[in-house]
Amino acid sequence: MANSDSGPAIPLSVVILAAGEGKRMKSALPKVLQPLAGRPLLAHVIDTARSLQPAAIHVVYGHGGERVREALAREQVQWTLQAQQLGTGHAVLQAVPKVPDDHVVLILYGDVPLLSRQTLLDLLAVAGPRQVALLTMIVSDPAGYGRIVRDGQGKVQRIVEQKDASAEERGIRECNTGVLAAPAGLLRHWLEGLKADNSQREYYLTDVIAMAVKAGVAVNPVACADPVDALGVNDKVQLAFLESVCRHRAARELMLAGVTVADPARIDVRGRVTHGKDVFIDINVVMEGTVKLGDRVRIGPGCVIRDAQIGDDTQVLPHCVIEGAVIGPGCNIGPFARFRPTSTLSAGVHIGNFVEVKNSTMADGSKANHLSYVGDAQVGARVNIGAGTIIANYDGANKHRTVIEDDVHTGSNSVLVAPITIGAGATVAAGSTVANQVPAGKLTIARARQTTIESWTRPTKQKK
């Protein structure tokens, strides 16, 4: 909702411009789909727009059209095609007829992803039925931006694009961020009157500022507190810079919330991390999706953790890849362990080096310490999966389940051919390949018997 000076709040509609090609990205992927902190640029903008609870969010798309819509199909937005990119004013004009005249329209850019909710609320606070709010920024190098031209009393008069600016105007350091909020009916009227009589032969959205002034509608500039927030992405250099901003902000948030981060420059959070107290995260850790860390969790260097939950006091040693796992409290994971979706470990489970766990459950105190594959298995409590044990879950066509009951020990290098149940307390001898049910409480051996050939002599090299 936007505010007028007096009277009730005015309904808000957001228009996001996302039709540009982004030539300078030199990529087959449309610019607004380039990922920042693990999500498309446009998704960040839609999120921020949604946080304002508008009546509607309109996205103007063009380049990479269907791909953009498909990638963001789950977003609750209205799509408007701008078939030809004739300028920012033309782009807004494609969507604005869909907005009721009594709304305030907030215009955002699909490639300006870091604007905060608060900045936009500050802007909307000075928009109204006869007020245009304009987000500006003061920058040391204004090259490329539209400049804000004020009159003798400091009132905003118009915006002049760099390419159309006089030498004197180019010296202005107060620039247009591109973001503005205006009454929908008047905006539509002004946009319909735009002319492309400028150096780029484009319909400039920025020309509506002079039209507002002419119509006696107040133009209220709001300076963006941190110009970094208003930065756009045009090339991979700027994309990497914004990524570093995201990285820094995420690390800072974690640290202020009590997490010890070994080096805030070497942690990547591309999603949402929640955590308990006294968590430690070593260098070069990447966290994606939704990650939940309990109290006193320690994550070693070089781990990649995606959509996972890690219980209190669990240690993850260096270089583990954990995806789609729920790991209980007091577990020891790694180094060099890999979890594929989806696994659940109870308390005190140990998963050691070069062990892969997939779609399995493991109950309290079970261990797979070395070089194993645990796939499609239900593992009981206190099981010891010996070094090199492989669960052969796949027959070349279908996957089958394995049940390993409590207190089972499998010897080194055993192969458990699924579907199979290993009874409680059973021991499978080292080197066995078991394909039939293994009875509880007994030793089962399934390997060739050891024999010694008494008469054998080692061949010797024949003399020529």
Catalytic residues: 370
Check: CB of residue 430 under 8 Å from CB of residue 414.
Answer: yes
Contact flag: residue 159 with ligand UD1 (CB under 6 A)? yes
Among 13, 48, 88, 410, indicate the residue that binds ligand UD1 (CB under 6 A): 88
Q: How many residues bind ligand UD1 (CB under 6 A)?
A: 27
Could you say whether residue 87 binds ligand UD1 (CB under 6 A)?
A: yes
Q: If you search the block for the tokens 């890999």, which residue do you land on?
A: 338
Residue with tokens 């593992």: 379
Q: Is position 329 an interface residue for ligand UD1 (rule: CB under 6 A)?
A: no
60 binds ligand UD1 (CB under 6 A): yes
441 φ/ψ sector (left φ>0, alpha ψ -120 to 50, else beta): left
Token duo for residue 449: 């018997």
Using CB under 6 A as the binding rule, whether residue 232 contacts ligand UD1 is answered as yes
Name 134's bridge partners. 180, 221
Cis peptide bond upstream of 97, omega within 30: no
Binding mask 111-140 for ligand UD1 (x = CB under 6 A): x-----------------------------
- 34 contacts ligand UD1 (rule: CB under 6 A): no
SS3 assignment, position 185 = helix
**SS3 label, residue 81:** strand
Of Ca ion, ligand UD1, none, which one sits near residue 352, judging by CB under 5 to 8 A according to partner kind? none
Residue type, 5: D
Q: Which stretch binds ligand UD1 (CB under 6 A): 103-111, 150-158, 296-304, 334-342?
A: 103-111
Residue 40's φ and ψ, nearest 5 degrees, are -55, 145
* Side-chain half-sphere exposure of 457, counting CA atoms within 13 A: 3
Amino acid identity for residue 447 in this structure: R
Task: Give the one residue of 64, 105, 136, 161 binding ligand UD1; rule: CB under 6 A.
Answer: 161
Binding status of residue 40 toward ligand UD1 by CB under 6 A: no
Q: How far is the CB of 131 from ligand UD1 (least distance, A)?
A: 20
Segment near ligand UD1 (CB under 6 A), from 17-25, 38-46, 119-127, 285-293? 17-25
> At closest approach, how far in Å is the CB of 31 from ligand UD1?
7
17 binding ligand UD1? (CB under 6 A): yes
Q: Considering CB distances under 5 to 8 angstroms, the limit depending on partner class, which of Ca ion, ligand UD1, none binds residue 88? A: ligand UD1
Interacting residues with Ca ion between 230 and 249 (CB under 5 A): 232
Instruction: Record the tokens describing residue 242, joined without a space.
Output: 């914004």
Question: Could you count the other beta carbons within 10 Å of the beta carbon of residue 287?
Answer: 26
- Rule CB under 6 A: say whether 238 interacts with ligand UD1: no
Phi, psi (degrees; rounded to nearest 5) at 192: -65, -25
- Gyration radius (Cα) of the chain, Å: 31
Euclidean distance between CA atoms 203 and 212, whole angstroms: 16
Task: State the residues that interact with Ca ion by CB under 5 A.
Answer: 232
Task: State the residues that interact with ligand UD1 by CB under 6 A.
Answer: 17-20, 60, 82, 85-88, 90-91, 109-111, 145-146, 159, 161, 175-178, 204-206, 232
